Amino acid sequence: MMQSLFRITAVAAAVLLTGAVVFAQQQPMGGMQPGTQPQNPNAGNTGMNNMNAMGEPPMQKMQDRAFVQDALEGGMGEVQLSQLAEQKGASADVRQYGQKMVQDRTQLDNAIKQVASQIEMRPPESPSKKDKKLYAKLSTLSGTQFDQAYIKAMVKAHNDDLAAFQQEATNTQNPAIKQVAEEGAQMTRGQLEVIKQMAKDNGVKT
């Protein structure tokens, strides 16, 4: 330790004696030590560099886009099934519920499409394969069989929707997506209460 201090003192004295010009010539450009690489001021901060314009990390951005995709696909599926209920429902309750579903879900989906435009995302053009398969199945039914199958499908869809809306409203950092998720949760909660009562009235096990 003492030897090191002696060497440091000797070097400092030599620099002072040789003058500022010589000192400057001996220093690499930018004050870097020989053999070192330029330092990236953002090194070690890649997480912040990967934040998007809304301040969201990439993973959350992907989750937001997945939510929008699933919500719009599910919305189209529910609207098509509810249009079918308007036409084929055996009971007035099912037909009225189908009509209300078409109105409410179409309005919500239009709001979600605006959000999709804001995040530069193209909305899906058709429902999911699962919803297409369900539509094909219900299309073959009529009377009480149709009513029960539709009610059962709507209970499941609304349970799934409510969970998805609530989760997205909690997790997202995008204000526009958060708003439509909260609106969707509120709307779905009310629809779920009604369809559960219809299931009870019609003896449908859910």
Q: HEC states along the chain? A: CHHHHHHHHHHHHHHHHHCHHHHHHHCCHHHCCCCCCCCCCCCCCHHHHCCCCCCCCHHHHHHHHHHHHHHHHHHHHHHHHHHHHHHHCCCHHHHHHHHHHHHHHHHHHHHHHHHHHHCCCCCCCCCCHHHHHHHHHHHCCCHHHHHHHHHHHHHHHHHHHHHHHHHHHHHCCCHHHHHHHHHHHHHHHHHHHHHHHHHHHCCCCC
On average, the pLDDT of the chain sits at: 82
pLDDT tier for residue 56 given thresholds of 50, 70 and 90: low
pLDDT score of 104 more than 70: yes
Residue pair 124/67 in contact by the 8 Å Cβ criterion: no
d(CA 206, CA 201): 12
For residues 50 and 133, the model is more confident at 133
* pLDDT, position 55: 59
Please give the pLDDT value at position 206.
84
* Residue 26: pLDDT over 50: no
Task: Write down the pLDDT at residue 141.
Answer: 98
The predicted model gives 117-144 an average pLDDT of 96
pLDDT at 123 over 60: yes
pTM of the predicted protein model: 0.72
Average pLDDT for 105-127: 97
Domain 58-201 - what CATH class? Answer: mainly alpha
In this predicted model, what pLDDT tens digit does every residue of 159-201 receive, in sequence order?
A: 999 999 999 999 999 999 999 999 999 999 999 999 999 999 9
